[in-house]
Amino acid sequence: MKKKIILASSSPRRKELLAMAGIPFTVDASPVPEIVPEGLAAEKQSAFLAEVKAAAVSVSHPQDVVIGADTTVICEGRVMGKPKDAEEAREMLAFLSGKIHTVYTGVSVIYSDDADAETFTSATKVEFYPLSQKVIDEYVATGEPLDKAGAYGIQGRGCRLVKRIEGDYFTVMGLPVAELLQRLEKLAKKGKFSW
């Protein structure tokens, strides 16, 4: 059965990656607040939120394929979402300076009106160079860190902070697009949908 693909996110990076991969889609951003249950393991939070976002949007699109995603940065046990302001962005970047952290991007694909979901998490390790206060201040002044988990965008000016990565670059951008395609193709082969 041919179905439309709906991205349950307003993230420009996720839209760009889906378009780059040649996946036809429309956007219906999830209105769900990003709240996780108390006690949920840090590395499971992004998958939980991805599924919640996809489920919320699938209510309005029961016949379509809905993709939800969420990204979390974890360093030394600390979960870092989007900074609330420039001051918090500076503090996050100072904390990440010279360290290795892990970026988790959870993805959930809801593909039937019975809310069948394929949910997975991709993890990538990122090492930052030691950052001077000047570099941090200059980067925060661009405004780029304010809507990004961990207060940086690897695909933008934040590229100057990154010494190396181990894993999928696109996971750090917010959508492990190759793995998502593999899963969509597998579901299509099983006859769950076509696009």
The number of angstroms, rounded, from the C-alpha of 172 to the middle of its chain's C-alpha atoms is 7
Q: Specify the residue for token string 């991969």.
A: 21
Q: Would you say 68 and 111 are in contact if contact means Cβ atoms under 8 Å apart?
A: no
d(CA 195, CA 54) in angstroms, rounded, equals: 18
Active site annotation includes 85: no
Number of Cβ within 10 Å of residue 45's Cβ equals 21
Pairing of strands 100-110, 78-80: unpaired
Residue among 28, 64, 70, 168 flagged as catalytic:
70
Helices (H), the chain: 12-20, 45-58, 86-96, 133-141, 169-173, 177-189
Query: What positions carry a catalytic annotation?
Result: 70
